[in-house]
Amino acid sequence: MEGGVDYLIDERKKAQFDVEAMKVAWAGSRQAFELSDRIAKLVANDPIFEKFSRPMLGRKELFKNSLRKVAHAWKLIIDLRLSEEEAKLLRHYIDEPAYTDLQWEMFIPAIEGQGTEEQKRKWLPLARKMQVIGSYAQTELGHGSNVQGLETTATFDPQTDEFVIHSPTLTSSKWWPGGTAKVSTHAIVYARLILDGQFHGVHGFIVQLRNLENHTPLPGITVGDIGMKFGNGAYNTMDNGVIRFNHVHIPRNQMLMRVSQVTREGKFVQSDVPRQLLYGTMVYVRQKIVADASKALSRAVCIATRYSAVRRQFGSRNGGPEIQVIDYKTQQSRLFPLLASAYAFRFVGEWLKWLYTDVKQRLEANDFSTLPEAHACTAGLKSLTTSATADGIEECRKLCGGHGYLVSSGIPELFATYVPACTFEGDNVVMMLQVARFLVKTVSELGYKQPVGTTAYMRRVTALMQSNCAVRTAEEWLNPGVVVEAFEARSTRMAVACGQRLAKFENPEEGFAELSADLVEASLAHCQVIVVSKFVEKLQQEIPGKGVKRLLEVLFYVYALFLLHKHQGDFLATGYLTPKQASLANDQLRILYSKVRPNAIALVDSFNHTDHLLSSILGRYDGNVYPKLYEAAFNDPFNDSDIADGIHQYVQPMLRQELHSAKL
Ligand SMILES: CCCCCCCC/C=C\CCCCCCCCCCC/C=C/C(=O)SCCNC(=O)CCNC(=O)[C@H](O)C(C)(C)COP(=O)(O)OP(=O)(O)OC[C@H]1O[C@@H](n2cnc3c(N)ncnc32)[C@H](O)[C@@H]1OP(=O)(O)O
Ligand SMILES: Cc1cc2nc3c(=O)[nH]c(=O)nc-3n(C[C@H](O)[C@H](O)[C@H](O)COP(=O)(O)OP(=O)(O)OC[C@H]3O[C@@H](n4cnc5c(N)ncnc54)[C@H](O)[C@@H]3O)c2cc1C
């Protein structure tokens, strides 16, 4: 058997549910499925969007090719009159980080959230038509996580009614802003506002960087690329920049003034809008990143699952076929929790999108009451989902054995492109510490204030602290209420224990710093409650299609019981579970894996990923792995000639023992 075509056909026959209905459940609705399927095919069938050769290209060629793709995409958007939703799907399927990500996901949202009505009227139409191209310049060489520590200054000059943007030190150079090194004409620059020698906090300013006619940097602006990043291809299609400002003047009306204003006389006016709204763009993008995590994880899982069904090792008897590696329990125990996580992240991402839309509407009506909850949820879930996805992609590489290390497996580039998500938009540990602040506050107020939203379960603090799990058989773990209660009890107990230990410190900030590692673990436990509960809420909805709901229930238990197994130390240490109950959960997990097994290929087919998106020989829909790997090897430009450059010069003299007289 040369290829794996027959293996996947057989695998697909084993499915116990309606795959087409599962595709709809994954997409969110039939309309969403049809839209996304149409755009996926549009991209897959367009040769300009080819990406298989990307890791072989040098930086300049890679970047130019990326500019070409964006220009072609923009032309398609106009010619086909694509909506903003369709344009964003187009970007997803093109699958290439580019300056437009910053334009549409940071520059425009920053103006929408922090600009005045007048500023929105002026800048948004220009940006939406791509007549100005903007980026988001917050991070500096010496300051990233600590936004209040930024050094760039914006000093008001009452003589000219302008702000003077300046980088006073080397460490104040803006460093990282995507799209900035070579493309963007403007940037939202975050800087310390200085009025009459007084510091008034960090604010956003719209600063023009380049001449719109000839694209040269404006006087006083030094700008360039920060250099090659991790991996070939990957995030190197993006021009992350360094900018240095030397007393650059901008009009006063280019400070984003929804949160605070500076008058013509140079007076600072603080409105009722909380200053945290300045961080609103990050909240928006963190929510997007959560929604995107399932897309990246599902790609890696799809590749590893299909390949695990094609790949055979050991167990051949009488010349018969060896065992498919997907049949090894160890392979299942590593792969199926990731498959289940992809579904879990998809549903929590959908919910977070809803939560964000709700908060946005409230903010527009000047209702800021749900902002702390939205901040904690977006920060925490961004951290949980990106860490699990980055680790999961790497696990999928290992699940594919040696071939997973080949660029043609599609996994190395996916990993290299994905991992910065653990760092950008807030380092994952720093984000969990934000959740910790929120949890500590919630716990400290339990005596007199009812927790709401995602912490509402802590209203039952007494019961969750005192009662214990009642499970006596492995079967009894198959109850959503029992599972959710276990997660809630563990989270409540960890948060309360942190609160009690913090209370022993005279200085709360010192206590917080000392206990920060434990606080991060308590925050993770709380975020897991959210993911598990939102999965259960999804299952409570009507989900049409034969067997679809049943399979989603199986995946829910795999996700939750795997987490319980992985973190059983917490569940045991907090005293909610006995070792016997933890062991029963693990027994149930093994049974669940055998329920996933016949459906595994159909479950990854339900992601509806095109071969173009996967860009992976191991993950091909037809499973024809070996002939295509062989073909790709000989199509590699390195194999153009049998004698590589340098062989005659450096190898032959060695073979002939003539190295001493060779010209090196
Ligand atoms: C081809 C054509 C296509 C056309 C269309 C295509 C469009 C493209 C479409 C799709 C693209 C798909 C891609 C999707 C993903 C988008 C990716 C975009 C690229 C990403 C590139 C990366 C960008 C960046 O990284 S930008 C920089 C990000 N930086 C950070 O995240 C810094 C992190 N630090 C902080 O946020 C803060 O410093 C802090 C929170 C850690 C601390 O802040 P501080 O002021 O010191 O606050 P603190 O004292 O701790 O807290 C005070 C109180 O404020 C509360 N709080 C903090 N933050 C927030 C907040 N955000 N919201 C609300 N409240 C907040 C905090 O809890 C405290 O509250 P308390 O009650 O006082 O305790
Ligand atoms: C690919 C990529 C694209 C980016 N694009 C942009 C962009 O478009 N615009 C922009 O402005 N920025 C951008 N950034 C920058 C990004 O937002 C920052 O790198 C990120 O916020 C982390 O900040 P840092 O680099 O300062 O990390 P640091 O804060 O220096 O982190 C270093 C280590 O210190 C730890 N640490 C830091 N503070 C604490 C603390 N209080 N407690 C405990 N541990 C702590 C962290 O956990 C980490 O382990 C991008 C970054 C990357 C990688």
* Band of residue 7 on the pLDDT scale cut at 50, 70, 90: low
Cβ pair 415, 390 in contact under 8 A: yes
Nearest residue (by CA) to ligand 2, atom 28, is 145
Give the lowest-confidence range in 155-159, 276-280, 553-557: 276-280
Q: Is ligand 2 within 6 A of the CB of residue 426?
A: yes
Q: Would you tell me the crossing angle of helices 480-503 and 548-566 to the nearest 10 degrees?
A: 30
Q: What whole-number percentage of the chain has pLDDT above 70?
A: 99
Q: What number is the average pLDDT over the span 532-549?
A: 98
What is the C-alpha separation between 112 and 110, in angstroms, rounded? 5
Per-residue pLDDT band for 271 (boundaries 50, 70, 90) equals confident
Instruction: Give φ, ψ of 567 to 5 degrees.
Output: -105, 30
Chain Cα centroid distance, residue 607: 17
When pLDDT is cut at 50, 70 and 90, the band that residue 335 belongs to is: very high
| Residue in 96, 145, 415 to alter for ligand 2 test, most ligand atoms within 8 A of Cβ | 145
Predicted pLDDT at 6: 63
Q: What is the number of the ligand 1 atom nearest to the C-alpha of 289?
A: 15
For ligand 1, atom 55, name the residue with the nearest CA. 276
Question: Annotated binding residue at 220?
Answer: no
Pocket residue to mutate for ligand 1, from 46, 96, 147, 519, most atoms within 8 A of Cβ: 147
- List pLDDT tens digits, range 599-622: 999 999 999 999 999 999 999 999
Q: What span, in angstroms and rounded, lies between the C-alpha atoms of 302 and 248? A: 50
The answer to whether 164 and 248 are in contact (CB under 8 A) is yes
Neighbours of 9 (CB within 10 A): 12
Cβ 296 under 6 angstroms from ligand 1: no
Whether the CB of 174 sits within 6 Å of ligand 1: no
Residue nearest atom 52 of ligand 1, based on CA coordinates: 276
- CA 432 to centroid of ligand 1, rounded, Å: 13
**Ligand closest to the CA atom of residue 241:** 2
Confirm or reject: Cβ of 279 under 6 Å from ligand 1.
yes
Contact 94, 69 (CB under 8 A): yes
Q: Which pLDDT tens digit goes with each residue over 389-402?
A: 999 999 999 999 99
Is 57 within 8 Å of 233 (Cβ atoms)?
Answer: yes
* Helices within 311-410 (DSSP H only): 329-364, 371-399
How crowded is residue 371: how many other Cβ atoms within 10 Å of its Cβ? 18
Tell me: pLDDT of 106 over 90: yes
Q: Full-prediction pTM beyond 0.95?
A: yes
Residue of minimum CA distance from atom 1 in ligand 1: 70
Residue 5 has pLDDT above 60, yes or no: no
Beta strand ranges found along 209-311 (DSSP E): 221-225, 241-245, 248-251, 260-262, 268-270
Determine the residue type at 72.
H
- Return d(Cα 274, Cα 300) in angstroms, integer: 41
Task: State the distance from the centre of ligand 1 to the C-alpha of 177, rounded, in angstroms.
Answer: 14
Interval 344-369: pLDDT, tens: 999 999 999 999 999 999 988 889 99
Work out whether strand 153-157 and strand 260-262 pair parallel, antiparallel, or are unpaired.
Answer: unpaired
Residue type for position 208 = Q
Angle at 517 between CA 511 and CA 518, to 5 degrees: 80
Pocket test of ligand 2: the residue of 139, 143, 229 to mutate, having most ligand atoms within 8 Å of its CB, is 139
ipTM over 0.90: yes
Q: Is the CB of 286 under 6 A from ligand 1?
A: no
138 lines ligand 2 (CB under 6 A): yes
Which residues, listed in sequence order, are joined to residue 268 by a DSSP beta bridge? 262
From 96, 105, 413, 425, the catalytic residue:
425
Q: Which ligand is nearest to the CA of 177?
A: 2
Q: State residue 1's pLDDT score.
A: 45
48 lines ligand 1 (CB under 6 A): no
- Tell me, yes or no, if 425 is annotated catalytic: yes
Q: Give the ligand 2 atom nearest the CA of 135.
A: 8
Task: Retrieve residue 160's tokens.
Answer: 């000219």
Query: Tell me, what's the pLDDT at 659?
Result: 87
Please work out whether the CB of residue 147 comes within 6 Å of at least one atom of ligand 2.
no
pLDDT in tens, 233-248: 999 999 999 999 999 9
pLDDT confidence bin for 319, thresholds 50/70/90:
confident
The answer to the question of whether 171 is labelled as a binding residue is: no
Ligand having the closest approach to the CA of 513: 2
Cβ atoms of residues 235 and 97 within 8 Å: yes
**Nearest atom of ligand 2 to the alpha carbon of 235:** 1
Residues in a beta bridge with 261: 269
Ligand with the closest atom to the CA of 274: 1
Segment 125-141, tens digit of pLDDT: 999 999 999 999 999 99
Average per-residue pLDDT for the chain: 96
CB 241 near ligand 2, within 6 Å? no
Judge if the beta carbon of residue 136 lies within 6 A of ligand 1: yes
* Ligand 1 geometric centre to CA of 425 (Å): 5
Q: Give the model confidence (pLDDT) of 35-72 as tens digits.
A: 999 999 999 999 999 999 899 999 999 999 999 999 99
Query: Has residue 2 got a pLDDT over 70?
Result: no
Residue whose Cα lies nearest atom 53 of ligand 2: it is: 420
At 663 the three-state DSSP class reads: coil
451: CB partners within 8 A, 6+ apart: 442, 445, 457, 458, 459
Nearest to 185 by CA among 153, 156, 203, 209: 209
Q: What is the mean pLDDT of residues 181-200?
A: 98
Which of 101, 133, 433 has most ligand 1 atoms within 8 Å of CB, for mutation? Answer: 101
What is the distance in A from the centroid of ligand 1 to the CA of 283?
Answer: 5
Q: What whole-number distance in Å separates Cα of residue 231 and Cα of residue 363?
A: 40
State yes or no: pLDDT of 119 exceeds 90: yes
Q: Is the CB of 429 under 6 A from ligand 2?
A: yes
- For 545-584, the pLDDT digits (tens) are 999 999 999 999 999 999 999 999 999 999 999 999 999 9
